[in-house]
């Protein structure tokens, strides 16, 4: 490239979180979860806005009917009473007519008209002194939230398509990423997000190039500007000059994710004969077929919250049974571990405008499930039912000690007996706990005795142990996977598992990185569960190393006092012993793509 060309194009460096090249025009992501806006619509658009609102009502009625219809499987009368009352609000009260009247008379968008009508009804209801009647306020709120969620799905004609575009978002939630992927964008750029953010994990599963940490893109590009996204180096290029576009267009043709590698032995063993079981982290059932071809033995982690398409849209018991059967069917005899909802309160109730000040430390994961037991019991029943003739285990996220397990066991016991007395056939899923917070590590011996297996979530373990936000790229430097404290914590949990003769599966992103996997194996890990696109690489690595070598590696790094020291010890060990596996210069952190074929 000549100097003039080099000067005219702008290169911005961010964080590579998913490989590959994407070229396309910028589309700014319309965040559907932002606070509700008041918008005036044109008189010509009133009719279509009313139709849009009616479709949202129909969708909500269908969902509520589904919840009520699930009553045969749901012995809890209260749940049915609640949903029946909410159906009445939608179908027989003046509630929806009042919203339509406001859209017509004031030319308001559905969202604002709905907000106005529900605010008024809630106010009236709050004035009622009878506590039983004033409870209805909560039902109105629930109906309002359900309608709002439905409205987000019922897009009007003006909504944009992201097909072939480079989508720019401040931050993306996993559900938004899944939704977005249906549009097949060329690449994604975000302001916030780290390697272990759920959106980044999904981008890798979907093989969608993604760069995070790009601030204020609108200062350099506007809607429609052509951008090159280099997910391999974490760079974006605006106003490509000289032969830049040509170079990247030809790179575009060769995917940076490796395709299936030449045949590997059926089971995954080290050179000295130790078996390492490789499982897949799968959220999309169809993706498991590829994982199986790569050599995965079952699904080590199914993040069940991927079934929540939009905040507040918790699938009914029957819908969950169907989804769990589907995922268990693809996993077959090797089985699936279904993690119960790992979400925060705003995602459960659909009210994303009322987020907690500190959601990572808030009412979330297993604590939320135990706090909002209506949903937890629905989920437990769904898993028990789906497990009746399929291989399914239950996994609890963010366990901090034994009390969550004791409480969960009570819930399971109750639901087992309710289902049994209703004559519904159920299975006997094994129970596992995710260890991903420091107290869980310190209580590992006690926890492990109470469960059938442990899943070590290194993504959160690093976050909580080092008090560093995994979603914030500005602190990516402090997110140190090789911090000696992290290595010690992993070792503690693996030893607790070994002492109690219970399986410990490592299922954070660390398990799928060739750079970290030898450390995990040396520390005693024998089961790794990972992103589909890491499986071939890790299997190839395992079949090229010996367990003895990994143990020598651990004896060296256990002397290190900083993450930098650990990293350079690893690099020199790899260069000295495995230069054929890690060609020189290719040892990068967090890459699933660096092993020689």
Q: Which is nearer to Mg ion, 36 or 361 (CB)?
A: 361
518 binds, options ligand PEP, Mg ion, none, Cβ within 5 to 8 A by partner type: none
What is the torsion angle, in degrees rounded to the nearest 10, for the CA atoms of residue 495, residue 499, residue 504 and residue 509? Answer: 0
Site for Mg ion in 419-438 (CB under 5 A): 436
Closer to Mg ion by Cβ: residue 74 or 471: 471
Which among Mg ion, ligand PEP, none contacts residue 400 (Cβ within 5 to 8 A by kind)? none
Nearer to ligand PEP by C-beta: 228 or 507? Answer: 507
CA distance 299 to 301: 6
Q: How far is the CB of 301 from ligand PEP (least distance, A)?
A: 6
Q: Which position has the token pair 């499982």?
A: 279
Cβ proximity to Mg ion, 236 vs 441, nearer residue: 441
How far is residue 536 from each of residues 299, 319, 365, 431, 528, measured CA to CA in Å? Answer: 15, 33, 31, 29, 13
**Which of 340, 349, 328 lies closest to 381, judged by CA?**
340
Phi, psi dihedral angles at 497 (to 5 degrees): -60, -45
SS3 344: strand
Calculate the CA 129 to chain-centre distance.
Answer: 43
Name the minimum Å distance from CB 457 to ligand PEP. Answer: 3
Nearer to Mg ion, 335 or 457 (CB): 457
H or E, element range at 420: helix 402-421
Interface stretch with Mg ion, choices 29-37, 306-314, 406-414, 455-463 (CB under 5 A): 455-463
Q: Report the nearest approach of ligand PEP to the CB of residue 489 (Å).
A: 12
Q: Which of ligand PEP, Mg ion, none does residue 590 bind (CB under 5 to 8 Å by kind)?
A: none
The contact set with ligand PEP (CB under 6 A) reads 301, 303, 342, 436, 457-460, 507-508
Q: How far is the CB of 400 from Mg ion (least distance, A)?
A: 13
**Which of ligand PEP, Mg ion, none has residue 327 at its interface (CB below 5 to 8 Å by kind)?**
none
Edge-to-edge strands, sheet with 10-13: 10-13, 235-238, 226-230, 21-28, 166-169, 187-190, 210-212, 15-18
Please, which residue, 316 or 533, has the CB nearer to ligand PEP?
A: 533
Taking alpha carbons only, the member of 484, 399, 479 closest to residue 442 is: 399
Cα separation, 316 vs 83, whole angstroms: 11
Q: Provide the mask over 459-478, with x wherever binding to Mg ion is found by CB under 5 A and - wherever it is not.
A: -x------------------
Task: Quickly count: other Cβ atoms within 10 Å of residue 345's Cβ.
Answer: 18
Q: Which is nearer to ligand PEP, 383 or 437 (CB)?
A: 437
Task: Choose between 399 and 570: whose C-beta lies nearer to ligand PEP.
Answer: 399
237 binds, among ligand PEP, Mg ion, none (CB under 5 to 8 A by kind): none
Least distance in Å: CB of 511 to ligand PEP?
Answer: 9
| C-alpha span between 321 and 324 (Å, rounded) | 5
Sign, Cα dihedral of 508, 514, 519, 521: positive
**Residues near 97 by Cβ (< 8 Å), separated by ≥ 6?**
none
Partner whose footprint covers residue 507, from Mg ion, ligand PEP, none (CB < 5 to 8 Å by kind): ligand PEP
> Which of Mg ion, ligand PEP, none does 458 bind, CB closer than 5 to 8 A by kind?
ligand PEP
By CB under 5 A, is residue 457 in contact with Mg ion? yes
Site residues (vs Mg ion, CB under 5 A): 436, 457, 460
């Amino acid at each position: 490239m000549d100097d003039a060309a080099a000067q005219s194009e702008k290169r911005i460096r961010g964080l590579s979180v998913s490989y590959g090249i994407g070229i396309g025009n910028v589309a700014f992501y319309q965040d559907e979860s932002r606070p509700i806006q008041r918008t005036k619509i044109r008189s010509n658009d009133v009719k279509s806005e009313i139709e849009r609102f009616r479709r949202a009502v129909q969708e909500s009625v269908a969902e509520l009917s589904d919840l009520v219809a699930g009553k045969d499987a749901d012995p809890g009368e209260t749940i049915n009473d609640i949903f029946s009352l909410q159906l009445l609000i939608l179908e027989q009260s003046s509630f929806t007519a009042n919203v339509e009247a406001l859209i017509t008379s004031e030319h308001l968008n559905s969202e604002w008209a709905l907000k106005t009508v529900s605010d008024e009804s809630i106010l009236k209801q709050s004035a009622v002194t009878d506590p039983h009647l004033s409870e209805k306020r909560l039902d109105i709120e629930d109906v309002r939230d359900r309608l709002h969620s439905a409205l987000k799905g019922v897009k009007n004609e003006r909504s944009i398509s992201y097909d072939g575009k480079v989508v720019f978002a401040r931050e993306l939630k996993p559900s938004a990423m899944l939704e977005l992927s249906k549009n097949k964008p060329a690449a994604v750029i975000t302001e916030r997000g780290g390697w272990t953010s759920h959106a980044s994990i999904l981008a890798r599963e979907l093989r969608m190039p993604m760069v995070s940490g790009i601030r204020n893109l609108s200062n350099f590009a506007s809607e429609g500007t052509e951008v090159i996204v280099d997910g391999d180096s974490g760079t974006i290029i605006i106003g490509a000059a000289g032969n830049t576009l040509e170079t990247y267009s030809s790179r575009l043709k060769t995917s940076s994710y490796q395709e299936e590698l030449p045949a590997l032995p059926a089971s995954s063993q080290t050179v000295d004969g130790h078996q390492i079981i490789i499982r897949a982290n799968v959220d999309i059932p169809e993706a498991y077929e590829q994982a199986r071809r790569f050599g995965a033995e079952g699904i080590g982690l199914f993040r069940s919250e991927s079934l929540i398409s939009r905040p507040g849209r918790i699938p009914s018991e029957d819908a969950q049974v169907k989804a769990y059967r589907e995922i268990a069917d693809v996993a077959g005899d090797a089985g699936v571990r279904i993690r119960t909802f790992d979400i925060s309160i705003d995602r459960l109730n659909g009210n994303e405008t009322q987020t907690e000040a500190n959601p990572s430390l808030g009412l979330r994961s297993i604590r939320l499930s135990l706090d909002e037991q209506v949903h937890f019991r629905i989920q437990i029943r769904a898993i028990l039912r789906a497990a009746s003739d399929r291989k399914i285990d239950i996994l609890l996220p963010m366990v901090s000690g034994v009390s969550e397990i004791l409480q969960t066991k009570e819930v399971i016991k109750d639901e087992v007996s309710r289902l049994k007395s209703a004559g519904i056939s159920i299975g006997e899923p094994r129970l596992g706990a995710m260890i991903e917070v420091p107290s869980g590590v310190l209580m590992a011996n006690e926890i492990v005795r109470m469960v059938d297996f442990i899943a070590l979530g290194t993504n959160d373990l690093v976050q909580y142990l080092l008090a560093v936000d995994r979603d914030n790229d500005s602190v990516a430097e402090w997110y140190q996977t090789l911090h000696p404290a992290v290595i010690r914590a992993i070792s503690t949990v693996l030893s607790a598992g070994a002492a109690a003769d219970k399986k410990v599966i490592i299922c954070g992103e660390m398990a799928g990185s060739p750079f970290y996997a030898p450390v995990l194996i040396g520390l005693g890990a024998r089961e790794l569960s990972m992103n589909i696109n890491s499986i071939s690489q890790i299997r190839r690595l395992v079949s090229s190393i010996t367990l003895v070598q990994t143990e020598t590696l651990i004896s060296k790094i256990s002397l290190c006092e900083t993450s930098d020291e650990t990293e350079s010890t690893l690099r020199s060990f790899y260069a000295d012993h495995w230069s054929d596996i890690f060609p020189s210069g290719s040892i990068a952190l967090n890459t699933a793509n660096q092993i020689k074929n």
